[in-house]
């Protein structure tokens, strides 16, 4: 059966390097895996009153329903001030509620942090990992995917052509596929 993979990107920027890296990784998934970007930029900031008072924004409902259909998640994120961008944290929060209806539960995932800098989004990568522990998502442990110096990796078409980097991406995809197939 086809495995459906949601790709959540922590940048809303049109020319996002992170999204381009995510696309390169998606293109490497094997047959039997179907990946799609899931919109998170339209989700109103999480407010528990929406759920408590049965006044749930349609964007929440649609996001939660879409995510329930997914078998696995690729998180691709830039780092903002050594943490994850608010848009991505908001999506995690929206998906985690109402209490007892955590849509992330048991969905295998991989975290890919991306940065033009040398620290490669380490802070964001691990802050995200911290939340995924609580959300009970099995996450690829190795290889850890810190993609630094991203501006040197992408050509004008948004493709990665460097063989060493492509080899590393293959190992990320392989570990992710292996984890997803266990669930
Ligand atoms: C950044 N940037 C950044 N980079 C980094 O490596 N560590 C950081 O802590 C931060 N902090 C930060 C905060 C804010 C508010 C912005 C807008 C940017 C730079 C960031 O890596 C760069 O803008 C990337 O291009 C963002 O990713 P996308 O949009 O290209 O995917």
pLDDT at 150: 98
- Three-state secondary structure of 112-151: EEECCCCCCCHHHHHHHHHHHHHCCCCECCCCCEEECCHH
Residue 83 pLDDT > 90: yes
Q: Which helix (H) or strand (E) holds 7?
A: strand 3-9
Quick one: pLDDT band at residue 1, thresholds 50, 70, 90? confident
Mean pLDDT of 178-182: 97
Please tell me whether the overall predicted TM-score, pTM, comes out greater than 0.85 for this model.
Answer: yes
CATH superfamily, domain at 3-181 = Flavodoxin domain (3.40.50.360)
pLDDT at 127: 98
Domain ranges across the chain: 3-181
Q: What is the mean pLDDT of the chain?
A: 98
pLDDT at 149: 97
pLDDT at 19: 98
pLDDT in tens, 120-172: 999 999 999 999 999 999 999 999 999 999 999 999 999 999 999 999 999 99
Rounded distance from Cα 118 to ligand 1 centre (Å): 12
pLDDT in tens, 2-11: 999 999 999 9
Minimal-distance CA residue to ligand 1 atom 26 = 78
Rounded distance from Cα 30 to ligand 1 centre (Å): 30
Rounded distance from Cα 81 to ligand 1 centre (Å): 7
pLDDT in tens, 18-54: 999 999 999 999 999 999 999 999 999 999 999 999 9
Backbone angles phi, psi at 177, to 5 degrees: -60, -45
pLDDT at 92: 98
Mutate to test the pocket of ligand 1, among 9, 25, 78, 118 (most ligand atoms within 8 A of CB): 78
pLDDT in tens, 85-128: 999 999 999 999 999 999 999 999 999 999 999 999 999 999 99
Report the C-alpha gap between 113 and 22 in whole angstroms: 10
């Amino acid at each position: 059966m086809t495995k459906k993979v949601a790709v959540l990107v922590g940048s809303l920027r049109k020319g996002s390097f992170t999204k381009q890296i995510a696309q390169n990784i998606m293109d490497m998934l094997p047959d039997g895996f179907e990946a799609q970007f899931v919109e998170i930029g339209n989700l109103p900031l999480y407010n528990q009153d929406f759920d408590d008072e049965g006044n749930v924004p349609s964007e929440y409902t649609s996001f939660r329903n879409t995510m329930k259909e997914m078998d696995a998640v690729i998180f691709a994120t830039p780092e903002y001030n050594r943490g994850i961008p608010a848009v991505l944290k908001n999506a995690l929060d929206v998906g985690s509620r109402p209490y007892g209806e955590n849509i992330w539960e048991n969905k295998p995932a991989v975290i890919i942090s991306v940065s033009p800098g040398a620290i490669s989004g380490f802070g964001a990568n691990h802050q995200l990992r911290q939340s995924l522990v609580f959300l009970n998502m099995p996450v690829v442990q190795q290889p850890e995917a810190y993609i630094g110096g991203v501006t040197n990796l992408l050509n004008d078409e948004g493709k990665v052509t460097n063989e060493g980097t492509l080899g590393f991406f293959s190992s990320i995809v392989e570990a992710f596929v292996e984890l997803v197939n266990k669930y």
